[in-house]
Amino acid sequence: MKYIFLIGLLLITYGAAGASIIDGEDGYRLWLKYDPINDDDLRATYAKQVSSFYLSGDSDTMKVIGEELAFALNGMLSQAKQVNASQAGLIVAAGDKANALAARHKLDLKAAGDEGYLVYQVQHGNAEKVMVLANTEVGALYGTYRLLRQLQTRQPLADMAIVSQPDIQLRVLNHWDNLDRHVERGYAGESIWDWHKLPDYRYQRYVDYARANASIGINGTVLNNVNADPLILTDHYLEKVKALADMFRPYGIKVYLSVKFSSPQLVGGLDTSDPLDEDVQQWWQAKVDDIYEHIPDFGGFLVKANSEGQPGPGDFGRTHAEGANMLASALAPHGGTVMWRAFVYANEKNEERSKQAYSEFKPLDGKFDDNVLVQVKNGPIDFQPREPFSPLFGATPETPLMMEFQITMEYLGFSTHFVYLGPMYEEVLSADTYARGEGSTVAKVIDGSLFDNNTSGMAGVANIGTDRNWTGHIILQSNWYVFGRMAWNPQISAEQVADEWVRMTLSNDNEVVATVTEMMMKSHEITVNTMTPLGLHHIMGAGHHYGPAPWVDSLGRADWNSVYYHRADDEGIGFDRSPSGVNAVEQYFSPLKEQLADPATTPEKYLLWFHHLPWDYQIKSSGRTLWDELVHRYYKGANDVKALEQQWDSLKGEIDPLQFHQVQMAMDIHVKEALWWRNACVLYFQQFSDMPIPDGLPKPEKSLKQYQKMSFPHAPGQG
Ligand code: BDP
């Protein structure tokens, strides 16, 4: 009787959700699911081709290749066997062995470089074999993942002839993770690094993290927050860092650390951190030598200096170059790199914020040591939903610049909005700087080809945490994925990447793939409309950055306030960065600077970024007044989110119920928050325009005052 009651209760509790409690995909496996291939013919064909494999060695990296192949092929084909070369359908080889095979089949292994690979199907004796060949073992690992992707996306192996090597050398995640496991701007649980239990306790999650990164070519990780805790450089923590580095090494991933510039004082007992002081230099040298004792392939340092209260060389009257070079010379003997951030702005400068990074770094061009990269955020302000590219890209021919993208969704809905960042990254990378005439894209600056730099890099601020699905939202896994794919190949299309990600993560059904890919491709534009249409920016809640707050006007620094950025008044709205205003356009090359100087030739998506325009200014594409267009975009954005939700709902039954349900719950929040943004912003700006919400549009539910009163002291991710 008791049991019948319990079972009944369970049915009532869980039956309502429609899915059983444990049966489903919770997202942990990311895009490396390797579920069985149901098509019998295809499975049999693949099995014949690659289920027996040969590895050319038994190093740690070859071991993980073998493990991944066994796991993946058993999963997809229900069979996998490591055999000798003559029996194998698949040969994975690196180094001399790969060179010999390449020569025999007249393949050019040089084209694979240090990290790339060839994946070919060749006639070998009287058998057809699939070969993954690389100069290095990590190249063979990347090639293995490339081959597996072919199976995961159900593409044929016959006649494969793929040559690939990364265009960018350093492809790194930046974790803004604190030592107490709080993640600054993190919305997916705590930090995955359990510092307290390291170095002894090594979660399987660390291995799966490395696998996921290696599968998309990420080869570095900065473990800790740019707002760095100096304790990371103490022996106690270096032991822990070493444990992670040891785990990641077979996967080709190097570990880097964010360092606090004043560490010599804070943990070294010195009374200065002046980069030109000899004791300071010696302290860093000794510290770096010590790190390399622990971690022979340590990657180097990431530094946020003289920015948002962080210490830096400026505190001692020195330049960013002097600060960076001091660290660079300590790292150089070991082959380490300094990634020095250009995200600097200071109130005292009395210069408009968007111009400051350029003003500070352009004069330092050519003054940095060879092992320094300057890391620049994609836009001139701060990871806004949309920004024009930073004018620093193209402005420093003698200094290699790294791209810094934000993968975590600080300004794009935390972890509850359906936003694929591929199109945004693509928009930035394909933008033309005109630094050396037409075709001088940001991608070519970043990959070093425009100025023939000898190093290159791309960083992404990670969206990873302890949530089972890693990123707090299944769809946002695609942003981690696309970051890696674009760091390997900055020319790849966002759409192609979306297609392959959907196939590996959600479904290989062509209709599902087409629907979700289409949703992903439009999602960024939609979200920009819901938050900051027409080039508006920085009008989110103060501090936590959650929700709309264009009214913020009382923070300590002018350029922390929303009103500084939108400048709405009775006359109009927008920031005049043209020559009649702060002349930020002067930092761009011609003909872009002339184009952006004139509202008539400024792309509408950046209109209010560069111009303050009257409320009745006529918008070219629609013929509407600026006010009507603004309202139209906010309403359209919110409607489009609703339509996205309906599109998602149409997939019910087509994808895994747990995945489906997770996204559905988040979509509900996205819909609500899009309405909130719309209502709050339209009511707020209406005070200035004094114009009506056009007929036929529903009026906001609450008053402006009510929206302004909403408060979220415990919103996640705060700094
Ligand atoms: C801002 C974040 C802040 C970061 C800062 C940075 O709000 O938490 O510390 O960027 O990049 O967007 O240093």
Q: Whose CA is nearest to atom 10 of ligand 1?
A: 382
For residue 343, the CA-to-ligand 1 centroid distance in Å is 9
Sheet with 81-82, side-by-side order of all strands: 81-82, 52-55, 90-94, 127-134, 117-124, 161-164
Q: Is 134 helix (H, G, I), strand (E, B) or coil?
A: strand
Compute the average pLDDT of residues 220-246.
Answer: 98
Which DSSP string do the residues of 9-74 spell out, in sequence order?
A: HHHHHHHTTSS-SS-S--STTTT---PPP--HHHHHHHHHHHSEEEES--SHHHHHHHHHHHHHHH
Is the predicted pLDDT of residue 1 greater than 60, yes or no? Answer: no
Contact indicator for 409, 187 with CB cutoff of 8 Å: yes
* Active-site residue, from 410, 576, 628, 629: 410
CA gap 55, 119 in Å, rounded: 14
Q: Give the residue, out of 178, 182, 226, with the most ligand 1 atoms within 8 A of its beta carbon, to mutate for a pocket test.
A: 226
Percent of the chain, pLDDT > 70?
Answer: 97
Question: What's the length of the chain?
Answer: 719
Which domains, from first to last, does the chain contain? 31-164 (3.30.379.10), 170-505 (3.20.20.80), 529-575+612-708 (3.90.1330.10)
Atom of ligand 1 nearest to the CA of 225: 9
Of residues 276, 197, 198, 286, the one with CA closest to residue 244: 198
pLDDT cut 90: percent of the chain above it = 95
382 is catalytic: yes
Q: Which two tokens stand for residue 344?
A: 């600097």
Give residue 629's pLDDT.
98
Quote the tokens at residue 310.
């962080």
Nearest-CA neighbor of 171 among 151, 128, 142? 142
- Report the nearest-CA residue for atom 3 of ligand 1: 719
Locate 155 and state its tokens: 């593409």
Ligand 1 atom 9: residue of nearest CA = 227
What residue type is assigned to position 426 of the chain? Answer: E
Write out pLDDT tens, residues 210-219: 999 999 999 9
Segment 606-631 mean pLDDT: 98
Instruction: List the one residue out of 250, 56, 219 whose CA is nearest residue 135.
Output: 56
Q: Compute and round to an integer the Cα radius of gyration of the chain.
A: 26
Ligand 1 center from residue 601 Cα (angstroms):
32
Instruction: State whether residue 401 is helix, strand or coil.
Output: strand
Q: Which atom of ligand 1 is nearest to the CA of 226?
A: 13
Considering 190, 208, 308, 604, which one is annotated as catalytic?
Answer: 308
SS3 377: strand
Is residue 348 very low, low, confident or very high in pLDDT (cuts 50, 70, 90)?
Answer: confident
pLDDT for residue 17 is more than 60 = no
Measuring from each residue's beta carbon to the nearest atom of ligand 1, which residues come in under 6 Å?
184-185, 226-227, 304, 308, 343, 382-383, 410, 719
Beta bridge partners of 339: 302, 373
Q: Rounded to whole angstroms, how far apart are CA atoms 54 and 83?
A: 5
What are the tens digits of pLDDT across the range 397-434? 999 999 999 999 999 999 999 999 999 999 999 999 99
